Amino acid sequence: MVFLPLGQVAMLIPLINNITMIKNTILLLILINSGQLFAQSFYLKPKIEYRSYQGSTGFPINFYKFSFFDVNYSTKFIPNADLFVKTQIMHHLDIYNIGLNVGMKLKNDDRIEFGWNQDATSSKFNFQDSRATNTIISEGISSIILNHRFEFLYFKEILKSNNENKNLHLSKKFVVFGTGFKFQNGPKKKEQTQDSYVRAAFSYSDYPNSLAAEHYIYSISRFSTFLSLGLSADINFRDKYLFSTSLTYLQGHFVLENTIHYIKIKEDGIITKQYDYTTHSRGSGFMLQISRNFQVYPWKKRKE
Is 67's pLDDT higher than 70? no
Q: What pLDDT does 192 receive? A: 47
How much is the pLDDT for 161? Answer: 66
Is residue 7 predicted with pLDDT exceeding 70? Answer: no
In the chain, which residue ranges form alpha helices assigned H by DSSP? 6-38, 194-197
Which tops the pLDDT comparison, 133 or 304? 133
What local confidence, expressed as pLDDT, does residue 263 receive? 86
What torsion do the CA atoms of 262, 80, 142, 121 make, to the nearest 10 degrees? 90
pLDDT of 55 higher than 80: yes
- Distances in Å between the Cα of 123 and the Cα atoms of 55, 105, 167, 228, 303 are 5, 37, 42, 19, 51
Provide CB contacts within 8 A for 299, sequence distance 6+: none
The pLDDT of residue 98:
97
pLDDT at site 71: 52
Range name among 88-97, 140-149, 154-163 with the lowest pLDDT average:
154-163
> What is the C-alpha separation between 143 and 182, in angstroms, rounded?
18
What pLDDT score was predicted for residue 12?
42
Q: Given a cut of 70, is residue 237 above it in pLDDT?
A: yes
Residue 85 identity (one-letter amino acid): V
pLDDT of residue 296: 92
**Does position 87 have pLDDT exceeding 70, yes or no?**
yes
- Which residue did the predictor score with more confidence, 300 or 246? 246
| Cα torsion through 4, 6, 7, 8, rounded to 10 | 30
Of 146 and 66, the structure prediction assigns the larger pLDDT to 146
Residue 89's region, left for phi above 0, alpha for psi from -120 to 50, else beta, is alpha
Which residues lie closer than 8 Å to 157 by C-beta, 6 or more apart? 108, 109, 110, 172, 173, 174
- State the pLDDT at residue 16: 42
Residue 170 buriedness (CB in 10 A; 0-12 / 13-18 / 19+): middle
| Nearest of 46, 48, 183, 37 to residue 113 by alpha carbon | 46
Average pLDDT, the chain: 77
Which helix (H) or strand (E) element contains residue 123?
strand 111-129
- For the entire predicted model, the pTM comes to 0.77
Contacts of residue 111, Cβ cutoff 8 Å, sequence gap at least 6? 103, 104, 105, 153, 154, 155, 174
In the chain, pLDDT over 90 holds for what percent of residues? 31
3-class SS string, 62-116: CCCCCCCCCCCCCCECCCCCCEEEEECCEEECCCCEEEEEEEEEECCCCEEEEEE
CA distance 259 to 281: 9
Instruction: Centre a 10 Å sphere on the Cβ of residue 66 and count the other Cβ atoms it contains.
Output: 9
φ, ψ dihedrals at 110, nearest 5°: -70, 170
Amino acid at residue number 18: N
Residue in 143, 178, 217, 171 with CA at minimum distance from that of residue 49: 178
